[in-house]
C-alpha cells in the first residue's frame, strides 16, 4: 500500500502543473506547495523508514478526503454552476482540517503509549507537521470563508 500511496501523492502534485499551465498563479500558494511537496517527502520517508500499519488509517482517511475533493472538481468541470457554489469548497476545507486533527491524535499514540511499536521518530516528525498544516489550512479557511463574508 505504501508505494501506491506515494505515487498517488506525486499524482496529486499534478494539479500544481495544471494551475501553472492555466496561468492560475494565485492558486500556487505557499500552503499549496508546502502541502504537496511535504506529502511526497513524507510518503517517501514513511515507505522507507516506517512502513507499518499505523499509517494505514491516515492513508485511508487522506484518500477519502481526496476522493471528496476530486469529486467536487469533477462536478465543477462538468457544470460551472458548481464552481460558483462556494459552500462546497468551504466544507471540503473543514473536512481536510478534521483529517489533520484525527491524524495528529493518531500519531500521538506512539508518543504517549510506550507499548506502541510505531517508530517514535516518525511520530515526533508527523505530529508537528500535522499541527502546522492544520494551522495553515485554518488560516486559509478564515481568510477565504470568514473574513471574506464579513
Residues with a catalytic annotation lie at: 35
Asked if 119 and 49 count as a contact pair (C-beta separation under 8 A), the reply is yes
Which DSSP state fits 119? -
CA–CA separation, 50 and 9 (whole Å): 17
Rounded to 5 degrees, what are φ and ψ at 89? -65, -40
Q: Which residues are CB-neighbours of 109 under 8 A, at least 6 positions away?
A: 54, 116, 118, 123
Amino acid at each position: 500500500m505504501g508505494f501506491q500511496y506515494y505515487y498517488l501523492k506525486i499524482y496529486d502534485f499534478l494539479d500544481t502543473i495544471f494551475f501553472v499551465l492555466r496561468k492560475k498563479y494565485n492558486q500556487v500558494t505557499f500552503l499549496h506547495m508546502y502541502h504537496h511537496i511535504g506529502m511526497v517527502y513524507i510518503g517517501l520517508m514513511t515507505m522507507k523508514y516506517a512502513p507499518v500499519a499505523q499509517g494505514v488509517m491516515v492513508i485511508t482517511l487522506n484518500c477519502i478526503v481526496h476522493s471528496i475533493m476530486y469529486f467536487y472538481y469533477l462536478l465543477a468541470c462538468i457544470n460551472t454552476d458548481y464552481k460558483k457554489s462556494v459552500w462546497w469548497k468551504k466544507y471540503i476545507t473543514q473536512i481536510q482540517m478534521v483529517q489533520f486533527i484525527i491524524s495528529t491524535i493518531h500519531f500521538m499514540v506512539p508518543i504517549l503509549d510506550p507499548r506502541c511499536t510505531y517508530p517514535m521518530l516518525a511520530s515526533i516528525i508527523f505530529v508537528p507537521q500535522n499541527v502546522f498544516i492544520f494551522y495553515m489550512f485554518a488560516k486559509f479557511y478564515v481568510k477565504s470563508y470568514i473574513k471574506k463574508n464579513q
